[in-house]
Structures are given as C-alpha cells and as structure tokens.
Structure 1
Amino acid sequence: MRKWLLLACAALFIFPVITKAVNQDSLWMYEHYTKKEVYIPMRDGVKLFTSVYLPKDQSEKHPILMTRTPYSCSPYGENNFRPLYRNHYNQYLHEGYIMVIQDVRGTWMSEGKFVNVRPFNPNKKGKKDIDEASDTYDTIDWLVKNLAGNNGHVGIFGISYPGFYSTMGALSGHPALKAVSPQAPVTDWFMGDDFHHNGAFFIADAFSFYTVFDHPHPKPTMEGPKGYDYYTHDNYKFYLETGALPNFSKIIGDSVAFWQEMYDHPNYDSYWKARNVRNFLYNVKPAMLEVGGVFDAEDCFGAWNTYKAIETQNPKANNRIVMGPWYHGQWASNDGTSLGNVRFDSNTSTYYANNIEIPFFNYYLKGKGQAPDIEATIFFTGENKWKQFPKWPPAAMQEQAAYLQPDGKLSFSKPSASNSFSEYVSDPSKPVPYTEDVHFNRTISYMTDDQRFASRRPDVVVFESAVLDNNITLAGPLVANIIASTTGTDADFIVKLIDVFPDDFKYEEDEPTEHRRLPSSTYPMGGYQMLVRGEIMRGKFRNSFEKPEAFVPGEPTPVKFTMPDVAHTFQKGHRIMIQVQSSWFPLTDRNPQQFMDIYKATDKDFKKATIRIYHDAAHPSNVQLPIMK
C-alpha cells in the first residue's frame, strides 16, 4: 500500500477523500462547484467513467479543462471532491473552468481493456478502430454537447502518463480542442523516458511501477492493487540480491502483459516504434505547451523531444516549451525554490503557474489576456535565471568539444599524447551506485546529487578542467564521443557532466528564510560536485538500436550518443568535470558484459571486464558541449 501511495503522489492526480471543509479554499470549492459522475460512451460502445466539476455560476459560459489518467479520477462519489485547490489549479476554479478528470479505458471505474502506451492508429476506418486519440475525440464531443454552460472550448493537460494522453489528445482532431499541455509526457519508452534510456533497462523504476500498476481489471473498481512486500528497504541490496532480469519476471508473474512484452522486445523493433509518439506528430492543430523538468528523474526526455518532433514535423504549429529546474511534477507543487541540496533564487513553480500555464489556457480557452509570443522559456541553473528564446536550441548555441586528457584533465584542446587511456575494472557484483545514500525508493533529486562519492571509486574515471576564468553557459543537447575498449563483448557507458563548486563556496546567509533549505552549515557545498546531466548508452546499440553488435575484445571502438538537453551556467571560479563509468545501479539493470539478450541472462552470466577510455591523438574522446556564444 505504501508503494501505491507513493505512485499516487508522483502522479500528482490522486488525492484523499475530503470529508469536511478544512480550510477557506476547500470551503470555497464546495460552495461554488458541484460534481457529476458520468459514463461517456465511446464509438465502440465502451463507457469511460468521468468526474466533472461544474461551476455554479451561470452568468457566463465556461471553458473545459480535462485530464485523462490511468491513476484514477478519485475520490469517487459526487459528494467527495478532489482537492484541486491545493496548488495552482485553485486559480482555474476561480476563473470558472469546468474541470474534468477521466479514468482511461480499462482502468479503475472505466470499461474496456487497458493497453500500455496504446499506439496511435492513423488509419481508423470503423467504430472498432479505436485509440487514445479517438477516445479523446469522443469524450470532447460528449462534453461540449451535454455540459450546460460550456463555451465550446476545451483544453487538455496532464503530467507523466496523463502527459501521454494529452499528446494523444492533440492528435484527436476535434475542432473544440484549442490548447494542449503535455507535461513530462511519456513519449518513447525505449529511447529515453521511464523504462529505457538508449536501450538500457531502468529496472528500479520499472519494477516498482509494475508491482502496483496494470494488474488484471475484469470489471470497474475503486480499489488499487496491494503492491509488493519488499524484504529490505535497502534499494541497492534488494536489486543486487534479486539478480538477473528473469528473477524479477518471476516476481511480477504473468498478470502484467506489458512486463513480458518488454522482455520479448529487447531491441528497437516495430513494437517499440509503434509506441514512439514522435512518429505520429504530423498533424498537430491545437496550441501546444510542452512542460518538463531539466532534473526530472522519471522523464527528462519527453518534453524536450515532443517539442522537437512537433517543430520538425509541423513547422507552422503553434508550439512552445517550458523547462524548469524541477523533479517530476515539481512545477505543479507549491515549492520550486530548491531541489536536493541545490537552491534557486525564486519560487520557480509559482513563476511558471502565474506567468506561463494559466495565461496560456486563459488566452486559448477564454480569450483573456494576450497571445503568448515566447516559444521557449528555460530556467538556467548555475546562474538561476529564466531566459526566453524564439526557438530551442538557441541560434547562438555552438558545439565545442571538451576533450578527455591524460592525468585526469579536461580541456578544449585535442590531446596530443600517444597510446593514452584510463582503465578500470567493471564488476557487476559491485556496481557503481547512482547515489551514495541508503534508501528504499529511487530518489527524486539524484540528478543534482553530489558526485564526490563516485569520483572516489576505482571503477569511475574522472576528468576535470582548470578553474574557469569566465562563465560558460550551455544550452542544448550534449553529445558524448567516447572511444573505448572492453575485455568483454558488451558494456554500458555512463557519461556525467558535473559542476564542481569552489572549495570555499557557501550560500549567502542573508537570503530569505524561506529559501534556506539546507544551509552550508548543514551540508558542505564547498567542493560540491553537482550532477548537471548524466546518461547511459548500452554499448551494443552504439551503431543501431535495431541490430545490436558485439564489441571485439580489446579493440578501441567509438561509442557516440546524444544526451538530454542542458540549460546550465558554469560560473567563473568553478570547474567542469566529466565522469565515465560502466554501471549506474539500480537505476539501470546490470550489463553481463557479454553480448547476449540481457532479459534472458542468468546470474552466472555476469562477468568482470576491464574497460579502457582512450584519450590520445588517435582516439580523442570528448563531450560536445552546446555553448552559448
């Protein structure tokens, strides 16, 4: 049950039942809104359970703002209100929006069969040809025709999986749909968000999710699954002792079809391509606002890449992006002043709500205010400033290679040495942890964590620049160009970009009290190695995700891959650091370091391997930095 509650909180759309009006905001909602629960028929006869919150004020027509979710539109019962007043959604209530939350097909109180990331069907011909876009169309059509007092304008938004349904809704083609905001949207579960990054399986997120999600749903229900009873709350210990991936499959059992489907499709085949939303973003008509966090541990990929796909495939689309310094869904919280040990100079969540999201929907659904004219609004950590651009990446961005050098140095000059490399032994029985703390659930803040614990390990190689004479601002994707060899036939490569704080760094003690999350007297920020971006590449996919290739043992081999965008300023007096390692546990599953189908590996298949990272004139390993000129 604890796992289920954590999942619910992460989704940001499951709230406890309100039995009493406990404050002025909840009292206001009860006085000014009524709730209806309805079953809306789809074209194939399946009915979807929908909660509708209607303003009592009938002096004007009201827009409809909808979320479609697999995480429940609870609380159920027309006298039990969802506390939409707890964050900036309260402003939508005061603006008089009709708020709609729907259980998607095959979940909770809705009928039908649930399909994970149900593929978009561009060739729908009859009533039996359904997808999430058609379900959205049918829902909108019913709402505008049956809800008294609506103004005929509909918006959709949602975070995470509801972000996926928002993107699908944008493809519905309904003329009443005017504005859509996919927020941290599930986009491509093989390449970059949630369960795989560049083909590497994110075991901790996947296992913790599917022990409480997508269990059999023979009929509508208000009750969630019970979850899994872990024998230890030491995350690292549990995943290491459970062992090879087939052992996790035995725990999950055969009730979750998608779990087995992931195992059955280890490469980027037609199964995964059909579930890549980007492949279908060719006819986007509503105004779009993609939102995400540059430190979103669950999905840093979706917002960036949904935005880019629409830009590429719909050049004239009304499309924009917002990326803040946030964990998964932090923009919908009330506190955007810090993440982990890192602080920002303002409440970034409040800024976003008041200046971007609410004006976006107010303009397109109510005709209120001015049309948004900024395409990219991005928060730059390091200098802690919002910046606005006519497109992303900015035109002023130029790639410049930071080269790995002998003796652990990093510079913008190519190495001149010959036969130079750094070497480490990657041992799957002692994988590199992704954070130094002992914990139960995967942390929400690891993407800004101090990396000093990793730089002290013998199986992590470290390259550090001289102290910077000037600020260096990065704005765009990183590209890792690593030349490596292994004594095995496969290997993972994790590349991390790190901001090294000066040894005498301290947060200003005269800053406002509400910003003092962890004063320097509590956590030593001097010498802090702040993770700015980290990403993994499963080596066998280095040339093709469709057709993996083995390494030739001992042969220097290029491994090139693109990492998610960054928006960060390295301040004068700081240093730039690159770390390279071959495990990142238990974020990702362990590589047996043998060329094979890892989903079928046994505990005996995991072997040590000696990895070399080359940095000489013939093999100039580097990371391409997107530097703002």
Structure 2
Amino acid sequence: MKKCLQIILLFCFLAVAAQTKSDNTFVKENFTKKEVYIPMRDGVKLFTSIYIPKDLSKTKKYPFIMQRTCYSVAPYGENEYRSSLGPNKYLMNDKYIFVYQDVRGRYMSEGTFTNMTPQVERKTKKDVDESTDTYDTIEWLLKNIANNNGKVGQYGTSYPGFYTAAGILADHPALVASSPQAPISDFWNDDFLHNGKFMLGYFRTFPVFGVHKTKAENKAWYTDSSIKQTSEDGLKFYRDMGTLKDGYEKYYKDNFFMTEIMNHPNYDEYWQKRSLLPHLKNVNHAVMTVGGWYDAEDLFGPLNIYKTIEKTSPKAKNTIVMGPFSHGAWGRETGKHFHNDIYFGDSIATYYQKNLETKFFSHYLKGNTKTDAGLPEAVMYDTGKKEWKEFKTYPPKEAAKLNFYLADGTLKNSAANTVSEYYSDPNNPVLSSDNLKGFNGFTPRNYMSEDQRFAIGRPDVLTFTTDILTEDLTFAGEIMANLNIASTSTDADFAVKLIDVYPEDFKPLEKKDGVIYGNYHQMVRSEIMPARFRNSKEKPEALVANQKTAVNFRLQDVVHTFKKGHRIQIQISSTWFPLFSVNPQKFMDNPNFATKEDYTKAFIKIFSDSFIEADVLK
C-alpha cells in the first residue's frame, strides 16, 4: 500500500501542476531557483519555491504566476528543478517568475492543515484563512523579489483550484488574473459528496487528506494503511467491506477527515463555513474558471464559481471554459482525445492552452490590465457535435426550457396519467459500472461517459426513452429533475442519468478495440439526490410511506447535441454502487452509521407527471 500511495501522490502532483513531459534542461538554463519561508501575519511560515528568469533586470521585468498547493512543491532543494513551469509550456517559454507554495500544514510548511479552510468574513488582525495567506505571500514577493513588474496571476487545478478561488478573495491590488481550474466551491457538492450523498468511490483517498504531519516533510507521510488490493475485481473489496460504517471502523477511525464526514451527515455549520460561494462578492479582476464536462471530481465547482461571480461582481472580467476533459486533463496533451471509449477530436488540450490559457495570462500580466483580453464570455465544448462553441452569456439567453415527461418507458413533451414502479433492495444494489477493474482506482474517472447498457433490464432500474430524433437537439445549460415519487420506505436516494443512445449502425471516426459502438448508451450527465434533503439540506425529513412526494434537484449542466438518428434516455434507480454508499432506505438521524439490519427493501413509484427540464437551444 505504501508504494501504491506514493504512485498516487505522484499522479496527483503531476495533474495539479499541469506538467508537460520533458527534462528540466530549459528550466535550469533559464531560471534560478530560490527556496524561502514566507511569514504570514500570525507568524506561521509557508515554504515557497520561486523560479526567477535569469535575464530579469531593471529593464526586463516579469510578473508572477503563483500556485498554492497541498500536493507538494517538489522537488525540494535549490539545485533540484522541476521539469516544466507554470500552467503550460507556452507560458514557461514566455518566462514569468513562477511561484509554488506548500499551504499550511502540508509538506515543508508550518501550521495545521484543514480541509477546505473556512473563509473568515470579517477579519481581525489575527484572523487567517487562504485569502490572507495569499495576500501576505503576494506582499512578500513584491517587496523581496527585485525587478518584478508589480502584477500577479494565480492558477491551480483540483485542490490548488480551491486555493486559487479562495485567493481571489485576497483582494490584493497586484492580483490581476486568477484561473481556478477544477476548483472545489462547496464540499457538499464536489469530490466526496453529491447533494450530501457520500461518494464511496473516493474511499481510498482518505489517507491523503485525513492524516496530519508532525514535522516538516519533503515526501508523503501518510503512507500507512491497511487497505490492500487483493483482486483485479475491485467490486470484491466493496462487497467484503460491508456498510459504510463497517469500512470506517475497519480502516479510518483515526482519520480526522473521514471522521468529520461521518459525524456531519447534514448541511450543518461544518459544511456551511467551507463553502466559498457566499464570499465571492465584488471581485474586480480577471477570472477564467476552467472545468471538464467529464470531471468526476469537481464539476459543480467551476460551474458555480463562474455563475456566482457573474451574479455578484459586474466589474470582474469573468470567463468560463468547459472542455470534454476528465479531471485536469486539459493540462496534458494526449493527441487523439478520448474520454473512456468516446473520441472527441485531436489536440484539444493544445487548443485550450494556446488560444485561451496563454492568451488570458499573457494579456493581463504583460499587457494592459484595464482592457479586455478578447476572450469569449463562455467557451464550451459541445460533447455531442464534438466542437467548441462560444456564448456571449452562460447559460445562453437564447436557450428555452423544455420538459421531458417520464411515462411507461417513454420520454415525451407531454404528461400522461400513469405510474412506473421498481423494487429497490439495498442488499442487491445497482452497480455503477461493469468495469470491475475500474473499482480499484484511486478515484472514479470513466463512469461519466460510460456505456449504460449494463443497467437496463434490472427490476430496480426504470428506463424512459424518446423516439428516434428526426433533427438535432442541443441541450445547453442547466437541467432539473422534477420527480414525483412514492415509496413503501421512509428514505431513498434517486439517481438520474441522462443518456445519448447511438444508432445501431453507428461508426465512430476513431474507436477503441473491443467496444461495440452500435446502440452505445453514452452517459451525458447524472446526479444523485437523497430524498431526506428534498426540502432542506440542513433539516432532513423522512418520507411518509406510500405518500406522493416531490423530489426536485438539479443535475449538473451540459452542452450536448443529441444528433438526428439518436435517442435521448433517462435511467432512474435508488442505488448506485460502489460509486455511492448505499442508502438503508430507512430514515435515520445519521445514515452514515447504518448497519445491515437497517437495510429496508422498498417498492418505489415514479408518477408520470415527473419530468426532466432542460435548457434547449432553438
């Protein structure tokens, strides 16, 4: 397991640093590395690596590009150089002063680490958070690195994306450009939770986030774990583990983060104070938020950070980019770009890096900050047509709401008067994939575009499908699931999948061996909602057995064209295992501690006045 976690750490580091594969010759020849401890206002010192262009002078000044991370600024040592610098190779070649910092409590920095550091709204001189640490770091850099041009940009992917988003709130006059990429915005809806539902597929990640270090560390200190991979069949691990309670007690009782999650099943103060969204007000510099449509970790974050800044901060130069990427995949070029089985085109990461990311930082850090960089408001990849689209507003103002009603296996634009029913047994949950090897992964990745044919025909899965489309239909924006349900039990989850059903004779431009693309059921979007939170995520409520009840919730956004000859499908179930923990289907104060004895079988009805509401382009 120690070796496994070291490999995991390396993967995380490479992903968040967006490193390109090369030796470090260019970096060593063109930059001088400096390692310093930068003091924060409360006396805690943060370890910082600074790469300074060798041709820096009074006549040749450079701006800063900074990344703050919990994943290590390695390699450590002033004679040890990274293989590449910055978000991409184009910015590295253009030269900036590149800054990397270990955040509080991580690796070589002092202090105590906490997950999603709460933002302090009204600060005294002693209060600290990620925005004050960002401010104090910028102040030190401006005063201590000679011949800088007085401008700072910041970026980061995944957890460093959160530090970037929190750094926006530093409100430092020198901070002119921020690019949070795959940022967490509210832990209730990103990474470990979806609408408060625990994402069991992240079970192996907890050593990384839930073990404090006791001294300065230049390598991972959290490598001890009793989790062993015993079979290529990753489902076996989760079957053998038992309930979420069993897994916690066996593996993670000493893990502070897992304990916090287990003890806070509702959206209480613990979660509320970790949301950045209420704090994102009066942003006055340039922000380019970046995400991937197939990011299994952080999709809610980029969409909602952009939307929040758009609503609260009219002075911000606010841009969003969403591509056909998994978590952080825009940071590395793969040539022919696939997500799981689906081909989306060539050199897509390069398009983003050259035409969007480089243009953004170059303009605001080396050009006229007061003028616009000329980027579109929203650059969104249509995952059905497989092409980039630009919008003046997002969601597009020209999109209209269209309802798709669920009745007797059909998906139509008018309501009926029928009832569909399925049988849900927590002891025999619906699988989230038929890729058993994939369940051994550190985090889930492929399920977001995976073929869903494996779930059809089960008595605990309802399927609703349109007729074959006679013209293209583009979903662009938000999606709502408006379900009217009744259950024989007092609690239930509702997993809703939006699926693109390919024609039987479909032949892709590029394919993977062994994949049957005819009648492929590609997941386009999906989400899960515990019925207990249908009225309030702070105060959960039991279902009344056999009573018709509304369970309404938002799926994540899409920009996807369902093409002529395809069909649109919705699948609904109440289990989604092992991607998500199993709901006992009995209302409990804390379902995280449910036992097998609490598991309750149920018959669940979906009434035909239920519908999916989508933003559809005319």
In the superposition, the TM-score normalised over structure 1's length comes to 0.93
Give 1:132 shift.
Answer: 0.6
Q: Is the 8 A contact 1:15 1:74 kept in 2?
A: no
Give 1:31 shift.
Answer: 0.9
Q: Which moved more, 1:494-503 or 1:422-431?
A: 422-431
Write out aligned runs for 1:540-579 (5 A). Answer: 540-579=532-571
CA distance in 2: counterparts of 1:585 and 1:430, whole angstroms: 9
Q: Is the 8 A contact 2:19 2:87 kept in 1?
A: no
Write out aligned runs for 1:249-260 (5 A). Answer: 249-260=248-259
Partner of 2:464: 463
Structure 1's unaligned 5+ residue stretches are: 509-515
Q: Is the 8 A contact 1:295 1:325 kept in 2?
A: yes
CA distance in 2: counterparts of 1:88 and 1:168, whole angstroms: 18
CA distance in 2: counterparts of 1:168 and 1:544, whole angstroms: 27
Q: Is the 8 A contact 2:476 2:557 kept in 1?
A: yes
Deviations 1:127-174 (A, max 9, x none): x21111001101111111111231111001001110110011100011
CA distance in 2: counterparts of 1:16 and 1:325, whole angstroms: 17
> In the alignment, which of 596, 611, 614 is matched to residue 625 of structure 1?
614
CA distance in 2: counterparts of 1:16 and 1:291, whole angstroms: 13
Q: Is the 8 A contact 1:235 1:586 kept in 2?
A: no
Q: Percent identity?
A: 46
Give 1:248 shift.
Answer: 2.6
Deviations 1:354-383 (A, max 9, x none): 111110000000117972341111000110
Matched, 1:167 2:172: no
Q: Which moved more, 1:476-485 or 1:221-230?
A: 221-230
Matched, 1:605 2:598: yes
CA distance in 2: counterparts of 1:14 and 1:291, whole angstroms: 13
1:14 to 1:277, Cα distance in 2 relative to 1, 3 A: closer
1:47 to 1:13, Cα distance in 2 relative to 1, 3 A: farther
Number of equivalenced pairs? 604
Give 1:253 shift.
Answer: 3.9
Partner of 2:303: 304
Give 1:88 shift.
Answer: 6.0
Partner of 1:153: 151
Partner of 1:511: none
1:252 to 1:45, Cα distance in 2 relative to 1, 3 A: farther
Partner of 2:517: 525
Partner of 2:205: 209
Partner of 2:192: 195
CA distance in 1: counterparts of 2:327 and 2:294, whole angstroms: 8
1:591 to 1:16, Cα distance in 2 relative to 1, 3 A: closer
AA of the residue aligned to 1:611: I
AA of the residue aligned to 2:78: E
What secondary structure sits across from 2:167 in the alignment? helix
1:274 to 1:88, Cα distance in 2 relative to 1, 3 A: closer
Deviations 1:451-488 (A, max 9, x none): 00011322111111000000000011110011111111
Alignment RMSD:
2.0
Partner of 1:398: 400
Write out aligned runs for 1:357-368 (5 A). Answer: 357-367=357-367
Matched, 1:238 2:237: yes
Q: Is the 8 A contact 1:164 1:187 kept in 2?
A: yes
Deviations 1:307-339 (A, max 9, x none): 111111213322110000110001111127221
CA distance in 2: counterparts of 1:193 and 1:173, whole angstroms: 25
Partner of 2:223: 226
Give 1:14 shift.
Answer: 7.2
Give 1:252 shift.
Answer: 4.2
Q: Is the 8 A contact 2:15 2:331 kept in 1?
A: no
Deviations 1:38-84 (A, max 9, x none): 11111111100011111111251011101100011111111211222
CA distance in 2: counterparts of 1:311 and 1:227, whole angstroms: 44
AA of the residue aligned to 1:324: G
Q: Is the 8 A contact 1:166 1:182 kept in 2?
A: yes
AA of the residue aligned to 1:194: D
Q: Is the 8 A contact 1:15 1:83 kept in 2?
A: no
1:112 to 1:344, Cα distance in 2 relative to 1, 3 A: same
Write out aligned runs for 1:279-358 (5 A). Answer: 279-335=278-334, 337-358=337-358
AA of the residue aligned to 1:355: N
CA distance in 1: counterparts of 2:579 and 2:361, whole angstroms: 36
Q: Which moved more, 1:343-352 or 1:590-599?
A: 343-352
> In the alignment, which of 34, 37, 49 is matched to residue 36 of structure 1?
34
Write out aligned runs for 1:408-423 (5 A). Answer: 408-415=409-416, 417=417, 420-423=418-421
1:448 to 1:14, Cα distance in 2 relative to 1, 3 A: closer
CA distance in 2: counterparts of 1:539 and 1:531, whole angstroms: 23
Give 1:239 shift.
Answer: 2.0
1:79 to 1:16, Cα distance in 2 relative to 1, 3 A: farther
AA of the residue aligned to 2:295: D
CA distance in 1: counterparts of 2:553 and 2:463, whole angstroms: 19
Give 1:108 shift.
Answer: 0.5
1:475 to 1:15, Cα distance in 2 relative to 1, 3 A: closer
Partner of 2:530: 538
